[in-house]
Amino acid sequence: MSEKKVIDKSFAVSRKRGNGTVRYEVWETDGCVTRYNLTYINRLIYTGDNGRVIGYDNKHGHHRHCLGIVEPVEYLSFEEIEQRFEREWNRIREVYHAQHTG
């Protein structure tokens, strides 16, 4: 069976909640994740890397982008990567929002 994109979604984070866009792209073959790209973009926090504040993908091995720094990550499962991404983008957004609304 060939690879198929099974998730292609993005949503805007309101200015009131910290601003930006979150994007999820996931491809599968035979029910197994073969490719993924999870990204939080907010040019108010970081202007480099097309505004990508934090992201995980496996285009060139499993790795993490954070404020322009790219580092490999241990891959246990896609679910674990997705949970890490969600924790991290929410933490970054909360810190930024707290610093700019007080």
Q: pLDDT tens for residues 47-95?
A: 999 999 999 999 999 999 999 999 999 999 999 999 999 999 999 988 8
Q: 10 near 16, Cβ under 8 Å?
A: no
- Mean pLDDT value across the chain: 93
What confidence score (pLDDT) does residue 98 get? 83
Residue 50 CA: distances (Å) to CA of 32, 69, 72, 74, 101 = 29, 13, 20, 25, 24
State the Cα–Cα distance between residues 15 and 67, nearest whole angstrom: 20
Q: What percent of the chain has pLDDT over 70?
A: 99
pTM: 0.90
Name all contacts of 14-18 with Cβ < 8 Å and 24+ positions apart.
Answer: 17/93, 17/97, 18/42, 18/93, 18/94, 18/96, 18/97
Break the chain into its structural domains and give their ranges: 4-101
